[in-house]
Structure formats: structure tokens, C-alpha cells
Amino acid sequence: MTCTIISFYADRETNKNVDTDTSTYYSDHAKRLTEELKKIDIPHDIRELKSQNNYMKNCLMKPGFILSMLEEKKSPVCSSLALRSSSITRFTSSLNDCCWACA
């Protein structure tokens, strides 16, 4: 049985007081992750959620997101709780060999 890798991202609103625009940081990484997972044919479901405009509040959305995906998919899902989509792209070449925590 295969499981679907799930992830979400929530971009922050643009901060007009900062010179650099980081508002697409997470969506850019989610796009790269999606492309990498497609290349190696791994089932995935990566979604955009509305940002809470606070990193910790966005992180607190993870348990509810995982539960909602379990209920929706009615099949195993894999979620990396330690790696965000912004860092997981470095590891996609070895995903098939990794041991994922599946629910």
C-alpha cells in the first residue's frame, strides 16, 4: 500500500517595511517540491492554506491539517513533521528509500 505525501504552505502577506518580498517563499518551495515528487512518481497532495501571518500560528495548523487529510483520503498519508516543504526538496532523490511516519 502506498501513502500520499501531504504538505501545506501558508505564505505571509507582503511586509511593506522590508526591502525584500518574502511573500512567496513557501509557495515557491511547495512548487519545487511538487515538481520533484512528480519526477519520481510519488503520490502527493500539497495545499495552500490561509496564513495566520504568524509563524507559530501557521505551525499550529499542522495537526488539524494532517487529521483533515486522513479523513479526506481515507488512506495512509505521510507527513514529515520535522521537515517543511522549504527544506524537503533536498531529500527528494532518496524519498523512496526513506522511512516515513505514516498514519
For residue 71, the domain's CATH number is: 3.40.50
103 in any annotated domain: no
92 in any annotated domain: yes
Regarding predicted confidence, which is higher, 60 or 78? 60
Q: How far apart are CA 11 and CA 86, in angstroms?
A: 12
**Contacts from 26-29 at CB under 8 Å and sequence distance 24+?**
26/84, 26/85, 26/86, 29/84, 29/85, 29/86, 29/87, 29/89
Work out how many domains the chain is built from and give that number. Answer: 1
When the pLDDT of each residue in the chain is averaged and rounded to a whole number, the result is: 76
79 in any annotated domain: yes
* Least confident residue range of 10-14, 20-24, 92-96: 92-96
Q: What is the pTM of this model?
A: 0.71
pLDDT value at 83 more than 80? no
102 in any annotated domain: no
Q: Which of 2-6, 49-53, 74-78 has the highest mean pLDDT?
A: 49-53
* Structural domain for 38, as ranges: 4-97
- Structure confidence at residue 19 (pLDDT): 52
